[in-house]
Structure 1
């Protein structure tokens, strides 16, 4: 019986706010760009594959819980899986890479790892307007002898720290790992690892922490409680933030029956908010594809918005992704047939679990600090003619995109802002 490699895809992802970019468009066209910097080509291929993986995973999670909130970081999950693939061989490797939406005949394995290496470095560049940190770690049983090549590549390509861990004492190991994650996410992601199997010999971890402020914050005095419609018959009262008389990138997609706006944050990122028409959520979700996102971003046009209403909310998730990833084609790694011989040199390891925990907190300032709910009384607008009013008062989608790397860092669905 192989030992257990508990792949703690500590997709310990915290997003107390959302990302922002200056309103550019995604451009994943990498053909006929011989004059491009090779690193740029790596980045574009990676961004496209990561988007494909993000939407595939989203659709799988949404199909299992169609009326529930969803929040996860596809970037963190894909990075952890790519990190794992360093030690995978044969069918196990092919399944992981294919599950990540790469084709080894088009993109060699070395190029995939190089792409993630460049991505991690790009995300780690100092930005005084945006707090974004990501990293990897290995928690290893002392008796487990890792191949020197694996350790060196883990450090070079994924900047992975290695920590000796006493898995024979599960409570101590859990405390050690969870303390590391809590510290790296500034106290927001806690208890990522639970009920640890004492047979575990290694856990791979990836974390992401993001914090930013809205470029133009909402005024707390303009937040008031109003209805958020869960469906045609049910609604809940939620704190609704409001902004009036603003110019925003906007697009109404007649083909997919949805409306979207891009909200900017200080720093190098933006939030794309997608509001399906009533009864059209499933149809929009079914068409979540990299090509759809490219079309949306390319169609955004800055226009005058008379009023924008957005719920103030904090949602979190904790997923065991084993079954979901298996349905996406990553199966052998979870079986006794797993070939992770690149880690130790022997086929003695298998993946026992892939866990992911994420938190998304959106408030007036864009930080996790909660502001008191107020009631706003304002005069009736004296403007003549039709007004453009966008109310996110029913289930909507959110995608958080890092501009420089064109990477979807977080994606989610707000089905009920009251449910954490």
Structure 2
């Protein structure tokens, strides 16, 4: 299939991330009784993190699509940015600067401590479980047995990112694969199995991040209304796929004539939603070119329930 679906998947991932940060401005972490100044500063940093993460997500998306023209691209920007931020805890000098630059951070605007505090705040915000919505993030580092991590690094990794470090014998590749795969399978409640297929015996370290998300649509789709129809990803290329159908649904919607696309937000039970962006036929590249944090903000601000 073409890249129409890839954009929809990206919309889901980015939209799923943004409300979690923007709708839950909690107080500064590690302070039991923060004052108003602390709260304002914490919220300000969280908004900056949201903007930087969106910038990183769109930038990475464009690079991936350039390298895989005509193919689907599905990835989790938040997983990648969290793993790299976690890794930066142990980096110094030019390596640290390159990592933060890749994540769209500048130490002249945001201190290293504020960056890690924001990711810590985000993790605590995302980790929630209820009958309506289950959302959990996990981080881990599998390190060659002969390497010894500094105590300060492992302490910060645990407190800021909830990350665990496992001494791993990569010479026994089968045992190492099982250790990593079992960790991910347990964290995702069996949804992701056999993540690692092959593992080089010369491996020194494996960084792992997973996000488990399970929720029900606020307005459920009736399986009996599912039907088969054409899905176009160019004027002459199409495939038949199963389409869900829902009548009499009032949902936030936007017709963007400037970018020739339609934007729809579907809400889950609990505090989560998915944002879908559907370009008009043959308008995929134009919409991709305008994937920017400012565009996403304009879309969200312009949505109207109808």
The verdict on a shared fold, with TM-score over 0.5 as the criterion, is yes
Q: Tell me how far 1:201 sits from its aligned partner.
A: 2.7
Mark the runs of 5 or more structure 2 residues left unpaired by the alignment: 1-11, 26-35
CA contact (8 A) 1:20 1:265 kept: no
Q: Tell me how far 1:243 sits from its aligned partner.
A: 1.1
Mark the runs of 5 or more structure 1 residues left unpaired by the alignment: 1-14, 304-420
Aligned equivalent of 2:301: 298
Q: Tell me how far 1:34 sits from its aligned partner.
A: 6.9
Tell me how many residue pairs correspond in the alignment: 282
Query: Which has the greater radius of gyration?
Result: 1
Structure 1 position 277 matched with structure 2 position 280? yes
CA contact (8 A) 2:135 2:214 kept: yes
- TM-score, structure 2 as length reference: 0.86
Structure 1 position 216 matched with structure 2 position 228? no
Q: Tell me how far 1:238 sits from its aligned partner.
A: 1.0
CA contact (8 A) 2:128 2:134 kept: no
Q: Tell me how far 1:55 sits from its aligned partner.
A: 0.6
Point out which structure has higher relative CO (alpha carbons under 8 A, 6+ apart).
Answer: 1
- Describe how 1:279-358 pairs up with structure 2 within 5 A: 279-303=282-306
CA RMSD of superposed structures (Å): 2.4
Aligned equivalent of 2:9: none
Aligned equivalent of 1:82: 85
Return closer, same or farther for 1:83/1:19 CA change in 2, 3 Å cut-off.
closer
Q: Tell me how far 1:125 sits from its aligned partner.
A: 3.2
CA contact (8 A) 1:138 1:162 kept: yes
Q: Tell me how far 1:68 sits from its aligned partner.
A: 1.7
Structure 1 position 229 matched with structure 2 position 235? no
Q: What CA distance in whole angstroms lies between the structure 1 residues aligned with 2:259 and 2:237?
A: 24
CA contact (8 A) 2:226 2:244 kept: yes
Aligned equivalent of 1:255: 258
| Structure with more helix by fraction | 2
- Describe how 1:175-214 pairs up with structure 2 within 5 A: 175-214=178-217
SS in 1 for 2:244: strand
Structure 1 position 156 matched with structure 2 position 159? yes
1:146-181 per-residue CA deviation (whole Å, 9 max, x = no partner) reads: 111111111111111122211111111011111111
CA contact (8 A) 1:137 1:205 kept: yes
Q: What CA distance in whole angstroms lies between the structure 1 residues aligned with 2:270 and 2:216?
A: 8
Structure 1 position 121 matched with structure 2 position 138? no
Return closer, same or farther for 1:128/1:20 CA change in 2, 3 Å cut-off.
farther
- Describe how 1:369-380 pairs up with structure 2 within 5 A: none
Q: Tell me how far 1:190 sits from its aligned partner.
A: 2.4
Return closer, same or farther for 1:281/1:184 CA change in 2, 3 Å cut-off.
same
1:377-415 per-residue CA deviation (whole Å, 9 max, x = no partner) reads: xxxxxxxxxxxxxxxxxxxxxxxxxxxxxxxxxxxxxxx
